[in-house]
């Protein structure tokens, strides 16, 4: 059986960085499920599909031309790694991810990433829906204020001016939408270990995760 480590939680809690470090530490493959949904949102926006266009979104999901190569996200061979990180794409991704038919269309594609020697899966329902059999399940969280500050700093580093009040509002609304959806809500798995990263730097989060892996023989 392939060892699977799931890292779930909302945006801005450090999941992506932790997953990269864990992949380097274990030599496991990486699944960024959020990038899959964001790529679908990017494609939907490019095609002017609306969040309620269920048939159009499912059709795009079933044939989504996404690739993960050398740490980059490619859509139709185009590098969209930065483009899928803006707030418009994030908001669209959150809306379409609430559609059961869309989630079903992308489910098997995500499962196929579980290959030897193992997998680190980053997402919102990795431990609850996609890989409920995972050996280790972590759920990262942090306050909306801290996550907004991290996002503002990230945007500043990219030369983009950001309104922290608006970002906090967007985060709160997205969290409520993700946690209250009827299918695969954003909640910790019953056997997940919750890590609050609000007052931890990434080195401390990684150290906590390594200790958990070592206790499980990884």
Nearest in space to 42 (alpha carbons), one of 84, 76, 85, 72: 84
Q: Where are the alpha helices (DSSP H) in 27-163?
A: 33-46, 54-62, 87-96, 100-111, 144-157
Give residue 85's pLDDT.
86
Residue-range domains of the chain with CATH: 3-208 (3.40.50.300)
Q: Which residue ranges of the chain lie beneath pLDDT 50?
A: none
Give residue 87's pLDDT.
83
Say which residue the tokens 């829906």 belong to. Answer: 129
pLDDT in tens, 53-79: 999 999 999 889 888 877 789 999 999
Nearest in space to 111 (alpha carbons), one of 141, 85, 132: 132
CA dihedral (66, 69, 72, 78) positive or negative: negative
Residues in contact with 56: Cβ distance below 8 Å, sequence separation at least 6, in sequence order: 44, 47, 49
């Amino acid at each position: 059986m392939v060892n699977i480590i799931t890292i779930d939680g909302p945006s801005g809690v450090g999941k992506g960085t932790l997953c990269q470090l864990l992949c380097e530490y274990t030599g496991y493959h990486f699944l960024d499920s959020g990038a899959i949904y964001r790529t679908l949102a990017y494609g939907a926006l490019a095609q002017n599909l609306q969040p309620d266009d269920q048939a159009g979104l499912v059709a795009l999901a079933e044939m989504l031309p996404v690739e993960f190569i050398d740490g980059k996200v490619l859509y139709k061979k185009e590098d969209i790694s930065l483009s899928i990180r803006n707030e418009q794409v994030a908001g669209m991704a959150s809306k379409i991810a609430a559609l059961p038919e869309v989630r079903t269309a992308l489910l098997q594609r995500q499962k196929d990433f579980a290959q030897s020697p193992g997998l680190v899966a980053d997402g919102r329902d990795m431990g609850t829906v996609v890989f409920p059999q995972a050996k280790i399940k972590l759920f990262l969280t942090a306050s909306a204020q801290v996550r907004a500050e991290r996002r503002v700093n990230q945007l500043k580093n990219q030369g983009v001016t950001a309104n922290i009040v608006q970002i906090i509002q967007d985060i709160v609304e997205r969290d409520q939408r993700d946690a209250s959806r009827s299918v695969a809500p954003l909640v910790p798995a019953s056997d997940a270990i919750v890590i609050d990263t609000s007052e931890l730097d990434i080195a401390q989060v990684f150290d906590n995760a390594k200790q958990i892996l070592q206790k499980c023989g990884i």
